[in-house]
Amino acid sequence: MDLNDYVVEMIAAQRLSELRERGARQALLATGRRARPRLSRRLGVVLIRVGHWLARGEARPVPNAGVRLAR
Query: Residue 36: its pLDDT value, please?
Result: 66
- Domain ranges, ordered by start, for the chain: 5-56
Mean per-residue pLDDT for 7-18? 95
pLDDT tier at 39 (50, 70, 90 boundaries)? confident
Does the structure show a pLDDT above 90 at 11?
Answer: yes
Cα–Cα dist 62/59, whole Å:
9
* 56 vs 19, higher pLDDT: 19
Q: Which helix (H) or strand (E) holds 41?
A: helix 39-56
Cα–Cα dist 35/30, whole Å:
9
